[in-house]
């Protein structure tokens, strides 16, 4: 390959990296240009928890294995411990993030990781850039960064990279797939958020079953066995790289609330794992899953309201309530009103992304469609937790290690990853199919389904009333909540129509050319 051809081939990827860096820096410009830091609650707590360990390390040059700064004392290896050989993974991690400061580097990492995933599924680079932004800018990432859940964010950012490696192996690109899977999974495990990694393996099970069925139909089970062997070796290397961290976590887990209780009052106390009430405390409402398309179905973040001239405010003003108290009432009743005890924001995939996901139904091959839709539905059902007991109690009782993790709403990250994956894969197929009466028909149907889903939210969402409040206040709050939902649905419809119009215009212009 000559220099010119190599340049042409590499140019889109170079543009992608520049775009990811530029957007990451723009998002966090005060950190880059003004030297500011984000006020992240979990980071602040982590600094306090690790201060004794870090001070000991500075004074002695040795690693402390115990700290008195947490609870009544606990092992230090879950808080701050420099593992021997860990410098290699840390250097690789920093290289992947271009040595950008936290959390700028983590957002950049999410962009690059998903970009590579889309490339592995055959999506052209310029479309893959858009898909990367759809994943990295989803609200789940943003609110997690705000809270300071940095290990979770890193684990989520590496998920697409692991799937990309597995994709390469299943596509019989064994060497590239083996290298990428080994490296990505090692970094995923090094992020040390086992709940996210657990959810990643659930996704890979769905993907693996789809590949198994496909190879079985083609009488290629020996080929599937070879692929699994390559992935198993990659997994062995990744686990071996993180064995010290994983083993100590497993060892300590026996003595934490995830292990057996030493105080046995009933036979059920002898079981390992968390209590179901604790596991399912954060459970999404069934209708709340519509926030993937319309974000403010149940408001936004708990205790946050930026609206003006609310009906509630006017009603309270007529009762001679002062402005500061009105603000408190608005934040309490117009921030979030869903089933969860509280939330930093909705799990929003994006109106355009959801539209592309619906469009993809008509263009993505059945094998990909089945496992992608399957894991999306599965993750949504898991996120319902206690609100869907028939399914989730069964998962809690029977599924290995499922009772070790709390806040099941976190599993929605699988939907937030696979919806844009299928959407942009479908967009690639849609473009490749060309502009015909058939593709126009499918585009119109996808638009109708997407818009219809948004209208369902408008017509069938009934905000819950305030219990024990006078009618004048209840009516005002209900009017405000319906107004929030209505404006959000209209905004969603606008984006869907805009996406439809853009695709229609581009293809029509290409036809007349």
What confidence score (pLDDT) does residue 255 get? 72
The phi and psi torsions of 74 (rounded to 5 degrees) equal -160, 160
**Would you tell me how many other CB atoms lie within 10 Å of the CB of residue 361?**
15
Query: Cis peptide leading into 320, omega within 30 of 0?
Result: no
- Closest of 347, 348, 337 to residue 304, by C-alpha: 337
Query: Cis peptide leading into 291, omega within 30 of 0?
Result: no
> For residue 265, with 0-12 CB atoms within 10 Å meaning exposed, 13-18 middle and 19 or more buried, which class applies?
exposed
Dist CA 363 CA 436 (whole Å): 14
Q: Report residue 65's pLDDT band, with 50, 70 and 90 as the boundaries.
A: confident
Instruction: Give, as one character, the DSSP assignment of residue 343.
Output: -
CA dihedral 502, 503, 504, 506 (to 10 degrees): 80
Helix (H/G/I), strand (E/B), else coil: 240 = helix
What confidence score (pLDDT) does residue 428 get? 97
Q: Report residue 51's pLDDT band, with 50, 70 and 90 as the boundaries.
A: confident
- Closest of 360, 316, 344, 271 to residue 476, by C-alpha: 316
Contact 291, 347 (CB under 8 A): yes
Question: So where are the chain's domains?
Answer: 13-29+85-253, 268-513
Angle at 68 between CA 65 and CA 74, to 5 degrees: 55
CA 279 to chain centre: 19
Q: Which residues contact 185 (CB under 8 A, 6 or more apart)?
A: 162, 165, 234, 235, 238
Per-residue pLDDT reduced to its tens digit, 171-185: 999 999 999 999 999
Whole-number Cα distances in Å, 427 to 272, 439, 481: 46, 11, 35
Query: Quick one: which H or E segment has residue 74?
Result: strand 74-75
Per-residue pLDDT reduced to its tens digit, 239-283: 999 888 888 887 877 777 676 766 666 555 556 778 889 889 999
What confidence score (pLDDT) does residue 346 get? 93
> For residue 90, with 0-12 CB atoms within 10 Å meaning exposed, 13-18 middle and 19 or more buried, which class applies?
middle
Higher-pLDDT residue of 91 and 452 is 452
CA 406 to chain centre: 16
What confidence score (pLDDT) does residue 252 get? 77
Q: Can you spell out the DSSP letters for 438-453?
A: HHHHHHHHHHHHHHHH
Query: Quick one: which H or E segment has residue 75?
Result: strand 74-75
What confidence score (pLDDT) does residue 262 get? 65
Mean pLDDT for the chain overall: 90
Dist CA 502 CA 104 (whole Å): 31
What confidence score (pLDDT) does residue 249 get? 81
What confidence score (pLDDT) does residue 393 get? 93
- Closest of 174, 167, 153, 189 to residue 117, by C-alpha: 167
Dist CA 105 CA 461 (whole Å): 39
- Backbone CA torsion sign across 394, 397, 400, 405: positive
In the predicted structure, residue 404 carries a pLDDT above the cut 70 = yes
Per-residue pLDDT reduced to its tens digit, 356-394: 999 999 999 999 999 999 999 999 999 999 999 999 999
- Among 34-48, 125-139, 300-314, which range has the highest average pLDDT? 125-139
Per-residue pLDDT reduced to its tens digit, 443-501: 999 999 999 999 999 999 988 888 888 889 999 999 999 999 999 999 999 999 999 99
Taken as a whole, the chain contains a residue count of: 513
Q: Is 419 left (phi over 0), alpha (psi -120 to 50) or beta?
A: alpha
Tokens read off for 393: 């109690």
Tokens read off for 118: 């889309």
In the predicted structure, residue 14 carries a pLDDT above the cut 80 = yes
Per-residue pLDDT reduced to its tens digit, 197-218: 999 999 999 999 999 999 999 9
Tokens read off for 46: 């982590």
Q: Can you give 161-199 as a three-state secondary structure string?
A: HHHHHHHHHHCCCHHHHHHHHHHHHHHHHHCCCHHHHHH
In this prediction, residues 108-114 reach a mean pLDDT of 97
Tokens read off for 247: 């083993």
Contact 53, 46 (CB under 8 A): no
Dist CA 113 CA 117 (whole Å): 6
Tokens read off for 315: 């009603």
What confidence score (pLDDT) does residue 268 get? 54
What confidence score (pLDDT) does residue 109 get? 96
In the predicted structure, residue 3 carries a pLDDT above the cut 90 = no
- The least confident of 27-31, 43-47, 188-192, 417-421 is 43-47
Share of residues in the chain with pLDDT > 90 (%): 59
Dist CA 151 CA 407 (whole Å): 16
- Backbone CA torsion sign across 166, 168, 173, 179: negative
Higher-pLDDT residue of 102 and 234 is 234
Dist CA 228 CA 174 (whole Å): 11
Higher-pLDDT residue of 97 and 273 is 97
Dist CA 413 CA 141 (whole Å): 9
Dist CA 278 CA 280 (whole Å): 6
What confidence score (pLDDT) does residue 363 get? 96
In the predicted structure, residue 29 carries a pLDDT above the cut 80 = yes
Higher-pLDDT residue of 252 and 66 is 66
CA 369 to chain centre: 20
The phi and psi torsions of 271 (rounded to 5 degrees) equal -75, 145
């Amino acid at each position: 390959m000559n220099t010119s051809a190599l340049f042409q081939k590499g140019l889109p990827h170079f543009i992608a990296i520049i775009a990811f860096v530029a957007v990451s820096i723009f998002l966090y410009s005060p950190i880059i240009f003004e030297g500011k830091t984000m006020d992240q609650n979990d980071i602040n707590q982590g600094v306090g928890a690790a201060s004794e360990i870090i001070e000991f390390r500075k004074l002695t040059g040795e690693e402390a294995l115990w700290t008195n700064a947490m609870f009544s004392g606990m092992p230090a290896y879950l808080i701050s411990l420099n593992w021997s050989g860990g410098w290699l993974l840390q250097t690789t991690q920093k290289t992947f993030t271009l040595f950008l400061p936290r959390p700028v580097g983590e957002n950049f990492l999410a962009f690059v990781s998903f970009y590579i995933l889309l490339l592995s599924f055959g999506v052209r680079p310029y479309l893959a850039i858009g898909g990367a932004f759809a994943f990295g800018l989803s609200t789940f990432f943003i609110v997690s960064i705000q809270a300071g859940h940095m290990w979770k964010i890193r684990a989520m950012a590496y998920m697409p990279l692991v799937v990309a490696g597995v994709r390469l192996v299943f596509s019989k690109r064994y060497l590239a797939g083996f290298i990428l899977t080994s490296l990505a999974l090692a970094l995923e495990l090094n992020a040390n958020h086992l709940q996210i990694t657990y959810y990643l393996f659930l996704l890979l099970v769905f993907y693996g079953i789809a590949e198994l069925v496909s190879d079985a139909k083609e009488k290629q089970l020996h080929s599937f066995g070879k692929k699994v062997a390559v992935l198993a070796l990659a997994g062995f290397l990744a686990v071996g790289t993180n064995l010290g961290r994983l083993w100590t976590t497993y060892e300590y887990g026996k003595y934490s609330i995830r292990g057996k209780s030493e105080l046995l009052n009933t036979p059920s106390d002898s079981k390992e794992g968390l209590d179901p009430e604790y596991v399912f405390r954060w459970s999404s409402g069934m209708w709340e899953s519509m926030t993937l398309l319309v974000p403010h179905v149940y408001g936004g973040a708990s205790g946050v309201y930026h609206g003006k001239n609310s009906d509630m405010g006017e009603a309270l003003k007529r009762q001679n309530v002062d402005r500061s108290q009105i603000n408190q009432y608005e934040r309490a009743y117009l921030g979030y009103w869903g089933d969860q005890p509280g939330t930093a924001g909705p799990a929003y995939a994006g109106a355009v992304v959801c539209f592309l996901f619906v469009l993809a139904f008509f263009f993505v091959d059945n094998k990909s469609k089945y496992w992608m839709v399957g894991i999306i539905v599965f993750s949504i059902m898991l996120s319902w937790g206690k609100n869907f007991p028939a399914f989730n109690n069964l998962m809690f009782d029977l599924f290995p290690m499922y009772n070790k993790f709390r806040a099941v709403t976190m599993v929605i990250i699988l939907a937030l990853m696979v919806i844009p994956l299928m959407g942009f894969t479908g967009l690639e197929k849609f473009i490749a199919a060309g502009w015909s009466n058939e593709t126009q028909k499918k585009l119109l149907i996808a638009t109708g389904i997407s818009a219809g889903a948004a209208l369902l939210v408008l017509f069938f969402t009934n905000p819950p009333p305030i219990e024990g409040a006078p009618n004048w206040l209840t009516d005002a709050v209900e009017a405000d909540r319906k107004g929030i939902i209505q404006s959000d649905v209209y905004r969603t419809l606008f984006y869907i129509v805009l996406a439809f119009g853009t695709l229609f215009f581009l293809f029509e212009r290409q036809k007349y050319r």
